[in-house]
């Protein structure tokens, strides 16, 4: 338990340093309200192999306008009960939104391959679950001209580290739980530009186990995202906050 808490403290400190390094600069703040609705499906193929399917519907302007659509497909190998490895492909479509939209010249696509290690540890006697996920991504972002015509794919690398704690609420309802997660995104490679610190996502969730196969989660997202451009000599940081409503399905 002490080892787990130490890891959480160290990770939080690293995340805070990354955020503070951005805050130390003069910047342009772009505040947006968002709504995210992720659905994930884990389909067991054999004792150790799973098919992962995921779709995320992301909206802004009080759900009136599209922000992003994301589709992810992956194959998971459960090496041990606590250790899972996954590799796969993701397709993302980003729409113009906010005061300083990423998609200046129109909606643009992203193609992505990824690899990840996921560690899950149940804390004995407490019913709580600690999980950690390390993911590397190879990203190809569509670049458009002023007439929204395709020019090229811009290649980027990124690493993501997510930590999550989940606590049961047995005193209220045996099927309810609380979860808190934080994920930091770090860019690297020759095309990284401004985005060494890419973004940070903090999530607070209330979950319910409807049965052994279906979980519902609702909560609040706080996302700090640094854009890859300068406006009037200043970096642009998005501050995206809003509700999250998700569903996890195990088949």
What pLDDT, on the 0 to 100 scale, is given for residue 8?
53
Q: What is the pTM of this model?
A: 0.87
**Which secondary-structure segment (H or E) carries 226?**
strand 214-231
Q: What is the CATH number of the domain that holds 117?
A: 2.40.160.40
Q: For residues 208-234, give the mean pLDDT.
A: 92
Identify which of 168, 167, 170 has the alpha carbon closest to the alpha carbon of residue 181: 167
Q: Between residues 9 and 45, which one has the greater pLDDT?
A: 45
Residue 46 is given by DSSP the state: S
Does the pLDDT of residue 204 top 80, yes or no? Answer: yes
Q: Which residues contact 2 (CB under 8 A, 6 or more apart)?
A: none
DSSP-assigned letters across all residues of 54-120: EEEEEEETTTTEEEEEEEEEEEEEEEETTEEEEEEEEEEEE---SSS-S-TTS-EEEEEEEEEEEEE
**CA-CA-CA-CA dihedral for 90, 91, 95, 97, to nearest 10:** 0
- The answer to whether 175 and 213 have CB atoms below 8 angstroms apart is no
Q: How many domains does the chain have?
A: 1
Measure the CA–CA gap between 238 and 201, rounded to whole angstroms.
Answer: 12
The answer to whether residue 4 scores a pLDDT higher than 60 is no
Which is more confidently placed, 122 or 125? 122
What are 150's two structure tokens?
Answer: 């395709």
* Burial class of 199 by CB neighbour count within 10 A (0 to 12, 13 to 18, 19+): buried
Least confident of 23-32, 118-127, 133-142: 23-32
Is the per-residue pLDDT at 27 higher than 90? no
Tell me which residue range forms the domain holding 225.
2-250
Residue 167 has which token pair?
């606590």
Q: Is the pLDDT confidence value at 22 over 50?
A: no
74 Cβ contact list (under 8 Å, min separation 6) = 51, 52, 54, 86, 87, 88, 89, 114
pLDDT at 83 over 60: yes
pLDDT value at residue 193: 78
Compute the mean pLDDT over every residue in the chain, rounded to the nearest whole number.
90
Rg for the chain (alpha carbons), in Å? Answer: 19
What confidence tens digit (pLDDT) does each residue in 151-165 have?
899 999 999 999 999
Most confident of 73-87, 116-130, 136-150: 73-87
Mean pLDDT (whole number) for 55-61: 97
Q: Is the pLDDT of residue 219 over 90?
A: yes
Is the pLDDT at 56 greater than 70, yes or no?
A: yes
pLDDT tier at 17, thresholds 50, 70, 90: low
Rounded-to-10 torsion of CA 94, 100, 106, 110: -30
Residue 12: pLDDT band (50, 70, 90) is: low
198 or 18, greater pLDDT: 198
pLDDT confidence of residue 231: 81
Average pLDDT for residues 171-196, to the nearest whole number? 91
Query: How far, in Å, CA of 210 to CA of 218, rounded?
Result: 13
């Amino acid at each position: 338990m002490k080892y787990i808490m130490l890891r959480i403290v160290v990770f939080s400190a690293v995340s805070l340093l990354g955020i503070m390094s951005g805050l130390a600069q003069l910047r342009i703040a772009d505040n947006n309200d968002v709504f995210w609705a992720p659905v994930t499906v884990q389909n067991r193929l054999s004792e150790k192999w799973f098919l992962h399917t995921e779709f995320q519907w992301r909206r802004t302007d009080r759900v009136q306008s599209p922000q992003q659509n994301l589709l992810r497909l992956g194959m998971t190998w459960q090496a041990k009960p606590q250790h899972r490895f996954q590799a796969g492909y993701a397709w993302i479509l980003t729409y113009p939104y906010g005061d300083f939209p990423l998609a200046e010249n129109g909606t643009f696509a992203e193609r992505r391959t990824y690899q990840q290690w996921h560690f899950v540890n149940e804390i004995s006697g407490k019913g709580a679950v600690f999980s950690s996920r390390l993911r590397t991504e190879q990203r190809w972002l569509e670049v458009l001209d002023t007439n929204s015509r395709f020019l090229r794919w811009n290649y980027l690398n990124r690493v993501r580290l997510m930590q999550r704690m989940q606590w049961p609420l047995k005193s209220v309802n045996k099927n309810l739980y609380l979860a808190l997660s934080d994920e930091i995104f770090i860019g690297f490679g020759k095309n990284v530009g401004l985005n060494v610190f890419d973004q940070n996502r903090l999530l607070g969730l209330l979950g319910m186990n409807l049965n052994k196969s279906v979980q519902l989660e609702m909560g609040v997202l706080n996302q700090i995202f640094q854009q890859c451009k300068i406006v009037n000599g200043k970096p642009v940081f998005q501050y995206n906050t809003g509700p999250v409503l998700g569903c996890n399905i195990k088949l």
